Amino acid sequence: MKFFVDTADIKEIAELNETGLLDGVTTNPSLILKSGRDIKEVIAEICTLVDGPVSAEVGATDLEGMKREGSILAEIAEQVAIKVPLTWDGLKACRYFAEQGRMVNVTLCFSASQALMAAKAGAAFISPFVGRLDDIGQDGLALIQDIRTIYQEYFFETEILVASIRSPLHVVRAAKIGADVSTIPYKVMRQLIEHPLTDRGLEQFVKDWAATGQKI
């Protein structure tokens, strides 16, 4: 499974990228707002830090606006994945950019039928929001399983990019289902390696090593 981080915070991206575990970055209007910076500047800087796909979302909701804004974002770097909403105009924009050979991330997916339509439109990534489905009493990971089944049956190349992740459990379950990518908040990314028994064991090892009086 590929790991993307879901943030527009340069410091967070740089830290995670140093681990060698980061495969890409996703951003959205809310994250850009939180950064307090111009979207083009943020995306350009992120692209200098990471080698993988960097999702940059259009703000327009009409086809012509998406085509115009997507073209501007695409000029920033070859690795930019143009992010569009899962609407009729969004799917048209997806087809438009896909035919130009550009990566497109179709976002705000909440059903298997939507995921099927995005794949047929040529999406490089489909972003199902598991956490938001859980919030309304539905099983977000069940949607990932449905999409995996459909994509395997018809050999779609669209990658399942699990979004709206709230905990390490979401990541592990998505990996077991066979999702291609998880886009993970910085906090959850750090939580993936945390376990109280690891901390307890390390504390004991450090104590015992000190008691040996040895140095390496």
DSSP collapsed to 3 states, the chain? CEEEEECCCHHHHHHHHCCCCCCEEECCHHHHHHHCCCHHHHHHHHHHHCCCCEEEECCCCCHHHHHHHHHHHHCCCCCEEEEEECCHHHHHHHHHHHCCCCCEEEEEECCHHHHHHHHHCCCCEEEEEHHHHHHCCCCHHHHHHHHHHHHHHHCCCCEEEEECCCCHHHHHHHHHHCCCEEEECHHHHHHCCCCHHHHHHHHHHHHHHHHHCCCC
And the tokens for 177? 């289902």
Instruction: Give me the active site residues, please.
Output: 83
